[in-house]
Structure 1
Amino acid sequence: MKKVAILIPEHSTIHVVAISRFMFETVNQFLISSGREKLFDIKLVGQQKQMQIIDGPFMVTPDLLINEVDDTDLIIIPPMAGNMQEGIWANKNSIDWIITQHQKGSEVASLCVGAFLLASTGLVNGKKCSTHWGFNDEFRTMFPEVILQDGKIVTDEDGIYSSGGANSCWNLLLYLIEKYVDRETAILTSKYFAIDIDRTSQSSFAMFKGQKEHKDDAIRKIQTYIESNIEEKFTVEDLAEKVALGRRSFERRFKLATNNSVLEYIQRVKIEAAKRSIESSRKNINEVMFDVGYTDTKAFRTTFKKITGLSPVEYKNKYNKIATD
C-alpha cells in the first residue's frame, strides 16, 4: 500500500486538492475492478482541524494533522493562491514537516505554484523544478538556487516532482500513476479524465513578458526599444551602442538582468508579437513573419516552433478563432 499525503496548505485552492484525491481514488477503483487490490491510502493533511480554502466560502477538514503523520510515501503539494511570500509564511510549519518526511524517505510532488512551497524547503536547491509559466520571473527572483525548467509540464529529479501551470497538474498525477502502477492504468485514467497523457510542454500557452523587475536602467531601456521596434533587425553591437556599452559588458548585464541572452530576448519578443497577430488577425504566415522582422521562412518557422512547441501553421489552426468563424 502506498501512503499518499495530500497537503492542504493555507491559501490553497480547493479544485486541485479535490482532483488529486479523486484521481488516486479512481485508480484504486480501477485496480479493484480488474481483480487487484487497491494501492493508494490517501489522506488529506493540514496544520489545523479546519483549513480555510482561498477560492470561496469553503472549509476542508483534513483526515490528519501534519503532526499525526508518522510517515508517508508521497506528499502532494497543491498550489497556493494570492501573494506567494505570505503563503510561504503561513505554511512555515508545513515546510518543516515536508523536510522531515523527505528525510524519512518520502517523495514529494508540487502542483503548479505549489513549487513555491516546495522550493522554500530547500529540497530543490541545485535541482530542476517546474512551475506555472506566468510565475517564472517571481520564482527565479525568490529561489535563484533552483534550476527552473521553462515550459516543462513535468519535472522529475531524485524523487522530487513538479508540474507546470494549471491543468499541467493532471499530467503530473498521471505520471505518478504510471510510475507507481503501470502504463496501462495511466492510459486508462487519462481516457477516463479526457487528458492528453503525453503532453510535455506548456510552451504554446506561455505569454512572454520580459523580465523588467531589475535595477539596470540601461538594459531596461534596450528592452523597451526592442519591444517597440519588433519589425527591425537588431544586432548586439547596435543595441550595445545605444547605451554606450561594449558588447561583452552589454551581453553580461543583459543576461544577468533578464535571464535571457540578447538573441533569446529578441526572438521571444518577436515570436510573442507573431503569436498575438496569428491569434487575432486574418494575416497569412508570411505577412506575420515580415511584420516581426523575419525574411527567412525557415528561420522563422524553426524559431517559432522552438519557443512555442508548434509550427506557425499548427499554432494558427489551434488558436486563431477568426480563421474558423
Structure 2
Amino acid sequence: MKHISILVPYGTSSISNIEGAHQLFAEVNNMFVAQGREPMFDLHMVGLASETPQRNGMFTIKPDVLFGDVKKTDLIIIPAVHGNPMETIEANKALLPWIKEQYKQGAELASLCIGAFFLASTGLLNGKKCATHWRTANDFRQMYPEVNLVDDKIMTEEDGIYTSGGAYSYLNLIIYLIEKYAGRDIAIMMAKAFMIDIDKVSQSPFIMFQGQKKHEDEPIKKAQEFIESNYQDKITVEGLADMLALGRRNLERRFKKATSNTIVEYLQRVKIEAAKKDFETSRKNINEVMYDVGYSDTKAFRTIFRKITGLSPIEYRNKYNKALVA
C-alpha cells in the first residue's frame, strides 16, 4: 500500500487540487475493494496545524495528520497556493526540510499548477524540467532560472518528481500517477468515470501570449511595443536596432534577458496570438488570417502555428470558433 501525503499549506490553497486528488485516489481504493482486493493507497491530508483556514476563512480544512508525525511517505502532493509566492514560501517554510528529507528517503513529489513555485523553493527542481500554469511562466523563470521550465507541457516527470500545468490539468497528472501505481486499465476506468481526457500532453492550445514586461529595460519595452503595434509589417532585428540606436548583439542579448524570448520568437508569438484571435472570432479562411498577421508562406505559417499552439490552424479554428461549429 502506497502512503500518499496531500499537503494542506497555509494560505489560499486550491481546494479543488486537494479534494480532487483525494477523491481520485480514494475512488481507486473503492474500486479495488469492490473487486475484493486490498486498497491501493493509504491517503492522508497532511498539514502544519490541525485546522487550516482557506479562502479568507470561507473554508477550513482539517488535516488528519501533522507533517512532523509523518516519518515516511511514498508520494507528496503539493497543491497550488494563490497569492504572493514568496509569502507562501515563508508561511510554509517549516515544510521545506521535511519535503527534502522525504525525497532523500525515496518519496516521490508532485506539484500541481503553481504549486511548482513552492516545490522549486526546495532546490530539488534545479536542473530538471518543470511545468506550471502558463500565465505564471515569466515570473517562475525570473524566480527560478536554474529550473528548466517547459510551459507548453501538461506534465513533467524526472527523477521521481512530477509537475503539472495550469489549473485543472492537474487531473491529467493524477490519472498518470494512478496508471503508474495501479495500472493502465484502472487509469482508463478512472478517466472515464470522471470524464478526464487521458493522455493529454500539451497546454499550448490554452496559452494566451502576454509579453513579459516586468522588467526595467525601457528600450526593450519600446521594442516590444513596436512589435505588438506593427506585427503585420516586415520587422527585422537590424531595423529595431537602428530605431533604438543599439548594436544588434546588444539588443538581442538584452531582449532575451528581459523577455525570455529571442526577437524572432517574440514576433512569431505576437503574430500567432493575433491569428488565434482571428480564428476565434471571424469567418476568415486560413490564407486571409495568414496574410493579415504578416505571413505570405503558407507552409511556414502552418509550421509556426502548430509549434506554438500544438494544433494546426484548422484544428484551432474548429476547436474555438463556436459560430463555425454551429
Q: Tell whether 2:114 aligns with 1:113.
A: yes
- Name the counterpart of 2:298: 297
Question: 1:39-58 to 2 correspondence within 5 Å?
Answer: 39-54=40-55, 57-58=58-59
Q: CA deviation at 1:55?
A: 7.0
Q: Tell whether 2:7 aligns with 1:7.
A: yes
Question: 1:1-325 to 2 correspondence within 5 Å?
Answer: 1-11=1-11, 12-54=13-55, 57-325=58-326
Contact 1:13 1:55 in 2 (8 A): no
The Cα RMSD (Å) is 1.2
Deviations 1:258-312 (A, max 9, x none): 1111111110010011111111222222111111101111111111111000111
Contact 2:74 2:107 in 1 (8 A): yes
Distance 2:15 2:262 in 1: 39
> For this pair of structures, how many residues does the alignment match?
325
Which residue type is aligned with residue 92 of structure 1? K
Distance 2:177 2:275 in 1: 36
- What SS is found at the alignment partner of 1:214? coil
Distance 1:308 1:31 in 2: 39
Distance 1:58 1:250 in 2: 50
- What SS is found at the alignment partner of 1:168? helix
- Structure 1 56/200 Cα, relative in aligned 2: closer, same or farther at 3 Å? farther
Distance 2:215 2:307 in 1: 27
Distance 1:197 1:83 in 2: 32
Distance 2:325 2:128 in 1: 43
Contact 2:133 2:151 in 1 (8 A): no
Contact 2:4 2:73 in 1 (8 A): yes
Contact 1:45 1:63 in 2 (8 A): yes
Q: CA deviation at 1:33?
A: 2.6
TM-score in terms of structure 2 length:
0.97
Contact 1:14 1:55 in 2 (8 A): no
Contact 1:13 1:54 in 2 (8 A): no
Contact 1:7 1:45 in 2 (8 A): yes
Contact 2:45 2:65 in 1 (8 A): yes
Deviations 1:198-252 (A, max 9, x none): 1000000000111111122111111100000121122221122111222222211
Distance 2:268 2:35 in 1: 51
Distance 1:178 1:262 in 2: 41
Which residue type is aligned with residue 269 of structure 1? V
Which residue type is aligned with residue 8 of structure 2? I
Q: CA deviation at 1:74?
A: 0.3
Contact 2:5 2:46 in 1 (8 A): yes
Contact 1:54 1:81 in 2 (8 A): no
Distance 1:49 1:35 in 2: 34
Q: CA deviation at 1:154?
A: 0.8
Gaps of 5+ in 1: none
- What SS is found at the alignment partner of 1:186? helix
Gaps of 5+ in 2: none
Q: CA deviation at 1:152?
A: 0.5
Q: CA deviation at 1:97?
A: 1.8
- What SS is found at the alignment partner of 2:81? coil
Distance 2:240 2:8 in 1: 49
Distance 1:57 1:218 in 2: 45
Distance 2:319 2:325 in 1: 10
- Structure 1 294/138 Cα, relative in aligned 2: closer, same or farther at 3 Å? same
- What SS is found at the alignment partner of 2:114? helix
